[in-house]
Amino acid sequence: MLEITVKRLKPYHIKADANHLYIIVSPENFTLLINGERYQFVPYKAKEIMINRKTKKIANPEAEFAFQKGGQVIYISMKLLMKLVDFLHFLNPITKPFYVEEEVHRGVNENEVIIDELDRINIKRLIDKSLDERDEAAFYTLLKLL
């Protein structure tokens, strides 16, 4: 039995179309602890997480991701990753700004939605900056804005 913990998951690139969100991952931004040892993502098989923007569900549960430590490669299915609380903990803040909400369908001004999304993305960038600079006060202030 594998003991798996997500250590790092940051998107390399995010693409969105009307129906799906594509989160492209890269080796330096996706690492797991498997049985206490650090494994780095390698793009041998799957390299993206595809999410339905309306249902908010992962659309490619059959995908398999490869993780490598030295010469050893372990393949982890998306179905297994979906069961990990850590994985969802990292994934939810990444995907939330891109979901298609019911309000949009009820005629909310599209410009307002875009501005709100840009505001959230900007706040997240500022949070990342405060973490990089170890500015705890700014971090907690910005966190309240989300």
User: Which contacts qualify for 39-45: CB closer than 8 Å, 24 or more apart?
Assistant: 39/67, 39/68, 39/69, 39/74, 40/67, 40/68, 40/69, 41/65, 41/66, 41/67, 41/68, 42/66, 42/67, 42/68, 42/73, 44/73, 45/75
User: How confident is the model over 69-122, as pLDDT tens digits?
Assistant: 999 999 999 999 999 989 989 998 999 888 876 544 455 567 777 888 888 888
pTM, two decimals, is: 0.65
Please classify residue 58 by burial: count the beta carbons closer than 10 Å to its beta carbon, then call 0-12 exposed, 13-18 middle and 19+ buried: buried
